[in-house]
Amino acid sequence: MNVVTPLKTTLGPAEAFLSKSHRLLIDGQWVEARSGETFETLNPATEDVITTVALGAAADIDAAVAAARKAFDDGPWPRMTPAERQRILQKLGDLIEENGEELAWIESLDNGKPVKVARSAEIPLTADLFHYMAAHARTREGHVVPTSDFAIPGADFHAYTVEEPVGVVGLITPWNCPLLIAAGWQMAGALAAGNTIVLKPSEVTPLSIVRFGELALEAGLPPGVVNIVQGYGGEAGARLVEHPQVDKIGFTGSTRTGRGLLIGKVLRFNEALGIPANLGEMGVRDEDVPHLARLRARRSLRRHQPETGDCRRDASPLSAGHQRCRHPAT
């Protein structure tokens, strides 16, 4: 006779964190969603409710983008010296290491992977990426470009490039490696470059990134530099992609979702140019939409400016800062 023993769950070192409900991080403050709505996050091993989380929507994304925009345009983060940013990001990496056991338990309970996988791989990798990018903040440099102008014989030009942060970076991340993808692969490099962040994590696994937000504030990141809005892709994610004050989008997820994001970017770009936003008015048939998305992706990659995809390309300190070329005569 086979006896099935009910699976028992302990919260381990994550018990204190999981015993409370969790809110949205906007402008350095933990706030309720504008609607007051929440949703439950489940332990996939038992399907038990772990805790409740604020359910962000379009209005919350608007507030988060406004905070990120203000932090970039008027705040200290992009104006800090590289050494100052390095110290804060180094401290954040240290805090991830120090709280590694708690983060591993949160990741396991919310995502379903073994604690030892999160403990031995994903949490240390996330901390290491912050340590690496912290040092990289001090190594970014421009270039002096040799020039010759045949149109003006004898003219002397001095051409050089300067790397600058892009601005507000919107990030949308999946459920499979919540902390590593969102914080390590996507945020660390963008922050080192001086950008500000609005993150919409997967609604399936939001908890480890919420704990990361607490550590980011503890490390000394200024208000508005990192904003976290938990919510559904159809509303919160769509609004983030379409928002006119977001300068760059980083996305890791399914092909279907990525295709939808690309179409949203095309429509937003067309709207800025005064082109009709309705695909039918543009003469685009429904069956042409996948082709439109593929064409946009190919053109984007040819420009070496991927609109979506792995943010190891999208939001690294080299590509999350555009290069400005100046040509003053000497």
Query: What kind and span of H or E run contains 270?
Result: helix 255-272
CATH for 253: 3.40.605.10
Beta bridge partners of 164: 322
The reported pLDDT for the residue numbered 309 is 32
- For 271, the 3-state DSSP assignment is helix
The answer to whether position 230 is within a domain reads yes
Number of structural domains, the chain?
A: 1
Distance CA 137, CA 85 (A): 7
The reported pLDDT for the residue numbered 7 is 44
The answer to whether position 143 is within a domain reads no
Q: What residues make up the domain containing 209?
A: 23-78+165-321
Q: Which two tokens stand for residue 141?
A: 């440099």
- For 199, the 3-state DSSP assignment is strand
The answer to whether position 111 is within a domain reads no
State the virtual CA torsion across 99, 103, 105, 111 in degrees, nearest 10: 180
Answer whether 0.85 is exceeded by the pTM.
Answer: no
The answer to whether position 186 is within a domain reads yes
The reported pLDDT for the residue numbered 157 is 75
The answer to whether position 176 is within a domain reads yes
Q: Can you list the residues of the chain whose pLDDT is less than 50?
A: 3-8, 277-284, 301-330
Q: What angle do CA 248, 253, 259 make, to 5 degrees?
A: 70
The reported pLDDT for the residue numbered 320 is 47
The reported pLDDT for the residue numbered 9 is 62
Q: Which two tokens stand for residue 94?
A: 């240290």
